Amino acid sequence: MKITEQEIADYLAATPDFFDRHAELLATIQLVSPHGKRAVSLQERQIELQRDKTRALELKAAEMVRFAQENEAIQQKLMRWMRALLMQPSARELPATLARELQQQFAVPQVGLKVWNVAPDYADIAHAQGYTPDAVVFANSLTLPYCGINSGFEAAQWVADPLAVQSLALIPLRPLTADAKAGTFGLLVFGSPDSQRFQAGMGTEFLARIGELSSAALGRLLPH
């Protein structure tokens, strides 16, 4: 009766002392190395496998350290941005401070911002003017930040150099007590001359957090 490979494997797994009784077999077993396809002994193959595992762990550890460093850098930028907002005593100057600090802290080439439905005391500031009802309708349609190619969005006109905007991120601003389908009171725009900077399908979780923090800060402009 022919013995199958699986039966041999099952036998060896069920008989861990087999090679203790037949230690001479270990020296004769030849395996194929994944590095160069040369024949190596079982012991050499085990050493290679351990080295590969160690190398994989080292790469994983290096990746985790890099992610931790990147996250720490982002947290530091967020803290500096939020500190600038908290230290701005004038609500009228808050939109300009928010946009300027976002641009500086996160190296965004261009940042634009418009707000609407603000209290009468703030209706005359530059950031509360210069938008159309269509922009409000579009902002209200966004349940998440939009990223992609600038295909002629009105919001691209809100930055200093609209013609340079090849890709953009559009972040709707809503009262924190509202849900994602409630009306907005503003729209934040990030513009870049790099068509790949803000791509359709990219993760928007961080941009959404920026939107939430911006909404919380700019809530000072809303009627109470």
pLDDT, tens only, 153-163: 999 999 999 99
pLDDT at 206 over 80: yes
Residue 38: the pLDDT is: 62
Contacts 24+ apart (CB under 8 A), 169-172: 169/145, 169/198, 169/204, 169/207, 170/139, 170/142, 170/145, 170/146, 171/145, 171/207, 171/208, 171/210, 171/211, 171/214, 172/139, 172/140, 172/142, 172/143, 172/145, 172/211
How far is CA 122 from each of CA 8, 90, 93, 115, 172, rounded to the nearest angstrom? 82, 11, 10, 10, 19
Fold of 94-221: Beta-Lactamase (3.30.450)
Residue 113: the pLDDT is: 98
pLDDT, tens only, 106-151: 999 999 999 999 999 999 999 999 999 999 999 999 999 999 999 9
Mean of all residue pLDDT scores within the chain = 87
Residue 32: the pLDDT is: 61
Comma-separated ranges of CATH 3.30.450.40 domains in the chain? 94-221
What is d(CA 21, CA 137) in angstroms, rounded to the nearest whole number? 80
**How many CB atoms within 10 Å of residue 202?**
14
- Beta-strand ranges (E) seen in the chain are 30-32, 39-41, 110-115, 146-149, 167-173, 186-192
Judged by average pLDDT, the poorest of 16-30, 66-80, 192-206 is 16-30
Question: Residue 93, Cα to own-chain centre: how many angstroms?
Answer: 29
Pull the structure tokens for residue 88. 């701005």
CA 180-186-188 angle, to 5 degrees, is 95
Q: List the alpha helices (DSSP H) in 87-132.
A: 94-105
Task: Evaluate whether 188 touches 127 at the Cβ level (below 8 Å).
Answer: no
pLDDT, tens only, 177-202: 766 667 999 999 999 999 999 998 88
pLDDT at 19 over 70: no
